[in-house]
Copies of this chain bind each other. A is one copy, B any other.
Amino acid sequence: MARKKEFDPEERMEKARDLFWEKGYNATSMEDLVQTMGLNRGSIYDTYGDKHSLYLQCLGNYAAEKLKEHKEAASGTSPMERVENMIRSAVEATVNTGKCCMAVNSTFELAAVDQSVHSIIKNNWKDIVDFFEQLLTDAKAQGEISADKDPKLLAEFIAANFTGLWQTFILSRDKKQVEKLAQFLIDMVKN
């Protein structure tokens, strides 16, 4: 019938995602995207729609991948150990790549004024908190955390602390300090 695309849409989208991730939405121009994705303007519009639509796809892709990474990081023999590993591996990923969470960047740049962005991030946030809550409920049942703790509140607290860790990293650029803070969080949660 007709020609096939010369490129892999998913692969090129990830290039766009990494650029948005690094520069933010507003600071990334269409020309930047053309250069980085290695695609013609027309091909981008034809495949992904306009800039905003492309961004939403990138953010959605990021959110899904991040959730998967969190779950993969939740290895361990006990619930609390799994929680610890999730925290440690998130910190590890940040200090190794030097990049913070794209969803958090996006929260502070756009979520307050962009309903679509807000919705994507909020749902992703909820997924992560829910996952923590499940683990903490298990931890409570096994006596790893004290009986008077509220798993849901604790889950929200841990998730909120991720953002604090990222901000600390941006300002300090100090691997040790972020790791120390993460360990402190773990100690606090375990009591």
Contact = CB atoms under 8 A, between A and B. Distances in A.
A24 interface: yes
Nearest to A109: B109
Contact of A160 (B27, B112, B159, B164): B164
A104 interface: yes
A6 to B, nearest CB: 32
A108 B112 contact: no
Given A125-B171, A156-B181, A161-B161, A100 B111 contact: no
A105 interface: yes
A1 interface: no
Given A105-B109, A153-B181, A160-B164, 20 more contacts: A26-B27, A27-B113, A100-B112, A105-B108, A107-B108, A108-B108, A108-B109, A108-B167, A108-B170, A109-B109, A111-B170, A111-B171, A118-B170, A122-B172, A153-B184, A156-B181, A157-B181, A157-B185, A160-B167, A161-B164
